[in-house]
Amino acid sequence: MASATVPLLDDDTIPFGEEDDMRDPSQAGQKYTHPYVTFFHLFFRGASIVIYMFCGWFSDSFITSFVFVVLFLSADFWTVKNISGRLLVGLRWWNYVDDDGKSHWVFESKNGRVNKHEQRIFWLGLILCPLFWGLFFLMALFGLKFKWLLLVMIAIALNAANLYGYIKCNYGAGKDLNSAATDFVKTQLFKNAVDMMTKPSAGAPPTNVRPTGVV
């Protein structure tokens, strides 16, 4: 069977994988190479959770709260799927329909340097927010708040879609999701352990100081 040709995305301003070539050289050495993208990656996710938790303080209307939460959830889904995943971790997932009407899912990963600070923030935001919504789901379910349960289910669906897509991108589209998630957790634990072991102690002298002589 001949492999299907993946069509190019018409709305790509910068081809996928060539973002580093367009980066401003003055940003080299900075802790965050995409500070605004990193901010909005967390802003929309956090704002939707905060609005859900405290909307009752400002309005008694369920419709108003529902609309605002869904708006921020939609902005978060679009930002994470199309911008922050591509720039912060070099991953992208998307879908297209071929001439026969068959839907195809594409999971891409570019080879290149990734800012480790932005990468950590990206994955923490991607994983922690669905956990919050899972907690809200249990609270709404056992509290018999079925109208809020619908809103929480929408949030879980949008958050889980991005989480699933980027895990597939990171570990390969053909790999089982359970094994991919297990490998991801092991990798993160190993990285954290290595960082703790290799981090210099507060009282240790800097390694780049050379001795000036023996007194």
Rounded to whole angstroms, the Cα distance separating 73 from 159 reads: 8
- What are the boundaries of each domain within the chain? 35-191
The closest of 169, 195, 157, 176 to 91, measured between CA atoms, is 169
The closest of 72, 19, 69 to 41, measured between CA atoms, is 72
Per-position DSSP letters for 71-135, written without gaps between them: HHHHHHHHHIIIIIHHHHSSEEEEEEE-TTS-EEEEEEE--S---HHHHHHHHHHHHHHHHHHHH
Reported as a single tens digit per residue, the pLDDT across 142-181 is 988 888 999 999 999 999 999 999 999 888 755 555 555 5
Rounded to whole angstroms, the Cα distance separating 105 from 95 reads: 5
> In the chain, what's the furthest Cα-to-Cα distance?
82
CB atoms within 10 A of CB 42: 17
The yes-or-no verdict on residue 191 having pLDDT over 70 is no
Reported as a single tens digit per residue, the pLDDT across 104-147 is 888 888 877 788 899 999 999 999 999 999 999 999 999 888 88
Rounded to whole angstroms, the Cα distance separating 15 from 92 reads: 12
